Amino acid sequence: MDVKSAFSVLLLCFLLSSCGEEKTVEAEKTVEAKKVVEAEKTIPERPKASDIDGRAQYELAKKYESGEGVPQDFAEAAKWRRKAAEQGHADAQVSLGMMYDIGLGVPKNYTEAAKWFRKAAEQGNANAKEWLKQNAKEDN
């Protein structure tokens, strides 16, 4: 066998052996990916913060009210404030009360406004207490 033929045989052997290595590496990656997918199935699904966290809901409401990062939408802001308020977030209760008081994103409704201000006042919120005090004077 001449040198050129020997070199060709060696080159062919080298190429064939490296092709097998690539397939082995790809197979190992596939096995690892499957392991990750299976492991993820055992992790309990976590609820979104926007579904459970009053603070996150309140912050989202502020974004909708200001139009920061989302289209300005007062009705959407009221929706998220209500979610936070229903979870006992005092600032959200005050804000929702104010929205009802002036009719921003919701129909103007003094009774509904007073309800949310009372809930916030029960938690010691000074702004809510002041609103109730001022509106009690106006009622008399």
Length of the chain, in residues: 140
Same domain assignment for residues 32 and 97? no
Same domain assignment for residues 40 and 54? no
Query: Mean of the per-residue pLDDT values for the chain?
Result: 81
Same domain assignment for residues 101 and 118? yes
Same domain assignment for residues 90 and 38? no
Same domain assignment for residues 130 and 66? yes
Question: Distance between CA atoms of 61 and 86, rounded to whole angstroms?
Answer: 14
Q: What is the pLDDT of residues 93-136, one digit of tens each?
A: 999 999 999 999 999 999 999 999 999 999 999 999 999 999 98
DSSP H helical segments within the chain, as ranges?
A: 3-42, 49-52, 54-66, 74-86, 90-102, 110-122, 126-139
Does the pLDDT at position 18 exceed 90? Answer: no
Same domain assignment for residues 37 and 59? no
CATH number of residue 55's parent domain: 1.25.40.10
Same domain assignment for residues 128 and 73? yes
Same domain assignment for residues 82 and 98? yes
Confidence tier at 53 by pLDDT (50, 70, 90): confident
What is the predicted pLDDT for the residue at 4? 63
Same domain assignment for residues 100 and 112? yes
Question: Distance between CA atoms of 41 and 125, rounded to whole angstroms?
Answer: 44
What is the predicted pLDDT for the residue at 40? 55
Same domain assignment for residues 16 and 57? no
Domain count across the chain: 2
Nearest Cα residue to 106 out of 83, 79, 88, 87 = 79
What is the predicted pLDDT for the residue at 115? 98
Is residue 99 within 8 A of residue 65, CB to CB? The reply is: no
Lowest mean pLDDT of 21-30, 57-66, 74-83, name the range: 21-30
Q: What is the pLDDT of residues 41-51, one digit of tens each?
A: 665 555 555 55
Label residue 111 left, alpha or beta by phi (over 0 means left) and psi (-120 to 50 means alpha).
alpha
Is residue 76 within 8 A of residue 57, CB to CB? The reply is: no
Q: Which domain holds residue 26?
A: 1-45
Confidence tier at 63 by pLDDT (50, 70, 90): very high
Cα torsion 27, 31, 36, 41 to 10°: value is 130
Question: Distance between CA atoms of 47 and 23, rounded to whole angstroms?
Answer: 40
How much of the chain, in percent, has pLDDT values that exceed 90? 58
CB neighbours of residue 93 within 10 Å: 30
Same domain assignment for residues 36 and 59? no
* pTM of the full structure: 0.63
Average pLDDT score over residue span 23-48: 61
